[in-house]
């Protein structure tokens, strides 16, 4: 008999990287995540749900920008040809990697078959899993805006939330009750705005609960209720570290597939150019294994799929044994069934850690025998247990635990730009517009403002990776915002060809309502 419950929570998100250009870097981001993470995740959950001995439960956050990509028929029509191109390039791999290449070729073919079988649309499959009780689908802020840095204009936070809720309901058929706050970032008073929008629960990093006032009686092992009426769950570090840490956790094991060594770095440039790939970059074609923590990329050995499959079974058993022991210890010391909440970025499973989806499948398969019961956040709250009222602590799950990763000398400049644009949007909405064409301009301005607020670009600026792309994206959306807003203010006509091109490129959130930026009444 289980002493408590384990709630796995995955956050599936990509920035709005839609590109009309086949073979672009942005397209690769989405298609690799689709092939390695989202398709295997859906398939794994469907298989687990069909197993009468398993009881899979998972909370899954699907960000509004990811939903926009998943529902984009034109974009998704290019996915199977993209897979076929990868299969052609894989055929040129060194014969020494034949076993790994054959295994990957089979997976690429299976991905194409599964995608064709569902008509290129995963969303009905996610909906069916929620209706079956397997998934608890939650939302995120519209463009993953870092809400504590938008708080100076509460209407900007409000627009991020209500746009997300509307998108979720339109595409998944049900209004979300839960939300993954971007980067699990919380500020004092956010709960009242969440409750006003109809959001009832979320989760924070552990210190968001442990530093709450008063200190929660059960620590992170039970949800709390904020003064604004929102339930918050806390991350249990002991239940996440073995999974996400590449240095201390399972993904760093020598038999698992190496993430950083990719055929895109090894093939001749002329072959890549012939395939329409104009710059060297990872192609999602990885044939090496981790080998060792201190092993250089040049010394990585060939990936052996069967060895990795055996190790997944062992690691799943070890993880469950650790959770069962922790639950037993907690049950002996607290007067309610303990809850372990283990949140992760969804792309850890399949993209960063190739064997991750198989690991989850093994957890659900071995869970009953190991005495570990799975649940999801909505199911926990549905039991009606009394919750302690506490004020959550401002926090995030980013490096340092607060806001410094998104507010530092590499990216602080954009915060002032967000604030200036947000205030201008609120002012213009409050004054209204004089025609349908101005309403159209103002609606598109709202999309551009939301896109400029994506925390992904701030993250990239701080991480120092594709910084030119991130800076270009921020400036592009802000430039378009100000051009659209200036047209509304001055009544100047915009070239129809330019407007149509912008609406096509940044056409997410078709039901966006500019009135969401109207000044909020006092609480």
Task: Give catalytic residue positions.
Answer: 183, 345
Burial group, residue 279, by CB count within 10 angstroms (0-12, 13-18, 19+):
exposed
Contact by Cβ (8 Å): 245, 342: no
Please list, residue by residue across 383-404, b when 16 or more beta carbons sit within 10 angstroms of its beta carbon and e when fewer do.
Answer: eeeebeebbbbbbbbbeebbbe
C-alpha–C-alpha distance, residues 330 and 6, integer Å: 13
| 3-state DSSP assignment of residue 202 | strand
Strand 231-234 versus strand 201-204 pairing type: parallel
Q: Are strands 231-234 and 5-12 parallel, antiparallel or unpaired?
A: unpaired
Helix (H), strand (E) at residue 510: none
Closest CA to 148 of 447, 401, 344: 401
> Is 355 in contact with 312 (CB distance < 8 Å)?
yes
In whole angstroms, what is the distance from residue 160 CA to residue 177 CA?
Answer: 15
- 3-state class (DSSP) for residue 23: coil
């Amino acid at each position: 008999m289980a002493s408590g419950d384990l709630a796995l929570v995955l956050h599936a998100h990509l920035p709005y990287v839609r590109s009309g250009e086949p073979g672009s870097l942005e397209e690769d981001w989405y298609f690799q995540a689709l092939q390695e993470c989202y398709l295997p995740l859906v398939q794994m959950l469907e298989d687990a749900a069909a197993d009468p001995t398993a009881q899979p439960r998972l909370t899954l956050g699907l960000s509004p920008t990811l939903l926009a990509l998943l529902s984009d028929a034109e974009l998704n029509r290019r996915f199977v040809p993209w897979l076929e191109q990868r299969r052609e390039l894989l055929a040129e791999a060194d014969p020494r990697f034949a076993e790994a290449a054959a295994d990957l070729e089979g997976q690429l073919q299976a991905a194409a078959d599964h995608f064709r079988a569902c008509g290129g649309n995963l969303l009905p499959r996610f909906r069916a899993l929620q209706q079956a009780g397997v998934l608890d689908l939650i939302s995120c802020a519209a463009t993953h805006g870092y809400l504590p840095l938008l708080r100076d204009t509460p209407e900007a936070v409000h627009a991020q939330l209500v746009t997300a809720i509307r998108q979720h309901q339109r595409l998944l058929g049900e209004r979300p009750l839960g939300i993954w706050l971007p980067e699990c970032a919380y500020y004092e008073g956010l709960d009242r705005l969440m409750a006003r929008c109809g959001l009832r629960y979320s989760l924070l990093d552990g210190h968001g609960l442990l530093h709450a006032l008063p200190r929660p009686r059960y620590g992170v092992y039970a949800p709390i209720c904020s003064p604004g009426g929102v339930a918050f769950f806390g991350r249990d570090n002991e239940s996440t570290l073995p999974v996400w840490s590449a240095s201390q956790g399972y993904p760093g094991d020598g038999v698992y597939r190496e993430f950083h060594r990719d055929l895109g770095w090894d093939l001749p440039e002329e072959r890549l150019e012939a395939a329409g790939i104009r710059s060297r970059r990872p192609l999602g074609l990885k044939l090496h294994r981790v080998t060792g923590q201190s092993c250089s990329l040049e010394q990585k050995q060939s990936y052996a799929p069967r060895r990795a499959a055996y190790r997944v079974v062992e690691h799943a058993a070890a993880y469950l044994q650790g959770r069962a022991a922790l639950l037993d210890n907690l049950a002996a010391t607290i007067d309610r069934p303990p809850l372990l909440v283990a949140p992760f970025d969804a792309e850890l499973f399949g993209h960063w850690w190739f064997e991750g989806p198989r690991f989850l499948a093994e957890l659900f398969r071995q869970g009953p025998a190991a005495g570990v019961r799975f649940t999801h956040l909505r199911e926990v709250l549905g039991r009606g247990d009394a919750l302690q009222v506490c004020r959550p602590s401002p926090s995030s799950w980013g490096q340092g635990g607060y806001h410094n990763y998104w507010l530092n000398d590499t990216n602080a400049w954009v915060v002032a730009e967000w604030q200036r644009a947000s205030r201008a949007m609120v002012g213009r909405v409050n004054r209204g517009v004089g025609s349908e064409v101005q309403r159209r301009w103002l609606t598109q301005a709202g999309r551009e403002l939301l896109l400029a607020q994506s925390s992904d670009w701030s993250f990239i600026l701080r991480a120092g990776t594709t910084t030119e792309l991130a800076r270009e994206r921020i400036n592009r959306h802000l430039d378009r915002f100000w051009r659209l807003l200036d047209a509304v203010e001055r009544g100047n006509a915009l070239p129809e060809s330019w407007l149509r091109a912008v609406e096509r490129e940044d056409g997410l959130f078709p039901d966006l309502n500019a009135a969401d930026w109207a000044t909020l009444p006092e609480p």
